[in-house]
C-alpha cells in the first residue's frame, strides 16, 4: 500500500448514516477518537469591568459573550456578573433571574426586594441570595442603590434549561446582613491559620447547602481579606473566578503574568486554570468578594487547587 494513500483517522470528516430509515436515524452523526476531541474554544479573557457611572440607572452586564463565542450574555462560560443601579425612590422593571440562584451584594444605598417567596429590606454591605424566578421587584430608598450580582444563568442557557419553580428549588432566599458579616469576619481574623490555609476568608452557605459548604449547588461565595503589605500566594484552580473589589488601596492582582490594578468596586475576571495572586501594598486591610463555579468542580472532583509558590 502506498503510504501516501493512507488516510489518518483524524482527517476523516464527520460521518452520516448510509441508509437512514427515518428522521430519527437521519439525525445521527459520527466522529472518531482522532477527530472528536480537537474542538478549539476561545480562551476566557482576564478582564476588569467597572461599575456604571453616576446618573445611569439600569442593569449593566459584565458581558464577554463575544469573546467567548456564545449566544447569550456571559462573563465566564458558566457565570454572569452585573451591576444594577437604581435611582432614588425608584424601582427596576420586574427582574427575571433565569438561573438556579443569584448572589447579590449591596455596594451602596438601601431598598427592598420582593418576589416569589421573598420580601426583605437591604442596606449597604448586605449579601442576599435569590432563587431563580421571574418578576422580582427591587426598590431603592432615598439615596438610590448600587448592587452587584452573579448568577449561573449561562450554565442553564447552555442547555436551554429553566430554573425549577420556587416551590421545588434547591435553594431558598437567604439574607446576610452587613453587621453579621462583620461579626463573622472578626471571628476569623482573631484566630490562627495553617500553612495550607488559602488566606482568611468567610465562606457563605445556608441551611440547605451546608453539607456542600456552597451557596448554591454550583456557585461558591467567599469574602476574602488581605492584610497590609502582604500577598496571597500564587495559586490556580479549575474554577473560574469573578472578584468584586470591596476595599483595596494600592492593591493589584497578577493573573496569568499580567498586572491588574484594583479600582473601587471593579470586577476582575480570573480565567479557569490561570495562575494568579493578590497583592496589598497599602496600609489598610483589603477585602474582596469572590464568586466561583467551584460547587460544580467540587461535585465533579475536579477543583484542582494548588499553590504555585511556597
What is the pLDDT, as a whole number, of residue 195? Answer: 64
- Which grid coordinates belong to 283? 496600609
Break the chain into its structural domains and give their ranges: 47-307
**How far apart (Å, rounded) are the C-alpha atoms in residues 37 and 39?**
6
**How far apart (Å, rounded) are the C-alpha atoms in residues 201 and 212?**
17
- Which grid coordinates belong to 33? 477518537
The answer to whether 162 touches 169, Cβ cutoff 8 Å, is no
Degrees (nearest 5) of the Cα angle 38, 43, 48? 170
What is the pLDDT, as a whole number, of residue 8? Answer: 87
Burial 29-44 (b: 16+ CB within 10 A, else e): eeeeeeeeeeeeeeeb
- Which grid coordinates belong to 275? 495562575
Three-class SS of residue 308? Answer: coil
Element (H, E) at 129: strand 127-151
What is the pLDDT, as a whole number, of residue 40? Answer: 87
Beta bridge partners of 289: 223, 244
What is the pLDDT, as a whole number, of residue 309? Answer: 87
CA distances from 259 to 86, 235, 275, 277 (A): 32, 15, 12, 10
CA distances from 22 to 15, 28, 31 (A): 17, 11, 21
**How far apart (Å, rounded) are the C-alpha atoms in residues 310 and 303?**
20
Smallest CA-to-CA distance from 275 within 241, 230, 229 is with: 241
Q: Where are the beta strands (DSSP E) in 6-79?
A: 47-49, 58-61
What is the pLDDT, as a whole number, of residue 196? Answer: 63
- Which grid coordinates belong to 195? 500553612
Residue 49, C-beta contacts closer than 8 angstroms, at least 6 positions apart? 62, 81, 266, 267, 269
Give the residue ranges of the chain where pLDDT is below 50: none
Which fold would CATH assign to domain 47-307? Jelly Rolls (2.60.120)
Amino acid at each position: 500500500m502506498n503510504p501516501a494513500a493512507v488516510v489518518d483517522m483524524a482527517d476523516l470528516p464527520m460521518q452520516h448514516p448510509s441508509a437512514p430509515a427515518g428522521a430519527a436515524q437521519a439525525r445521527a452523526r459520527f466522529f472518531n477518537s482522532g477527530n472528536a476531541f480537537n474542538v478549539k474554544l476561545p480562551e476566557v479573557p482576564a478582564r476588569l469591568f467597572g461599575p456604571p457611572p453616576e446618573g445611569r440607572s439600569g442593569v449593566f452586564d459584565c458581558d464577554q459573550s463575544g469573546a467567548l463565542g456564545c449566544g447569550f450574555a456571559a462573563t465566564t462560560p458558566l457565570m454572569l456578573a452585573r451591576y444594577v443601579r437604581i435611582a432614588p425612590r425608584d424601582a427596576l422593571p420586574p427582574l427575571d433571574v433565569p438561573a438556579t440562584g443569584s448572589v447579590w451584594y449591596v455596594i451602596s444605598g438601601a431598598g427592598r426586594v420582593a418576589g416569589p417567596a421573598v420580601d426583605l429590606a437591604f442596606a449597604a454591605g448586605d449579601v442576599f441570595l435569590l432563587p431563580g424566578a421571574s418578576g422580582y421587584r427591587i426598590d431603592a430608598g432615598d439615596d438610590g442603590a448600587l448592587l452587584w450580582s452573579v448568577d449561573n444563568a449561562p450554565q442553564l442557557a447552555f442547555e436551554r434549561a429553566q430554573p425549577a419553580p420556587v416551590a421545588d428549588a434547591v435553594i431558598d432566599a437567604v439574607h446576610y446582613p452587613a453587621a453579621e458579616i462583620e461579626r463573622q469576619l472578626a471571628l476569623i481574623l482573631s484566630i490562627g491559620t495553617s500553612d495550607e490555609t488559602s488566606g482568611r476568608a468567610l465562606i457563605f452557605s445556608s441551611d440547605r447547602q451546608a453539607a456542600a459548604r456552597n451557596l448554591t449547588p454550583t456557585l461558591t461565595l467567599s469574602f476574602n481579606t488581605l492584610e497590609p503589605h502582604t500577598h496571597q500566594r500564587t495559586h490556580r484552580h479549575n474554577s473560574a473566578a469573578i472578584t468584586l473589589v470591596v476595599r483595596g488601596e494600592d492593591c493589584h492582582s497578577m493573573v496569568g503574568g499580567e498586572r491588574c490594578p484594583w479600582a473601587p468596586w471593579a470586577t476582575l475576571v480570573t480565567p479557569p486554570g490561570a495562575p494568579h495572586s493578590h497583592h496589598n501594598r497599602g496600609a489598610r486591610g483589603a477585602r474582596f468578594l469572590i464568586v466561583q463555579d467551584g460547587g460544580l468542580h467540587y461535585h465533579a472532583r475536579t477543583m484542582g487547587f494548588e499553590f504555585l509558590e511556597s
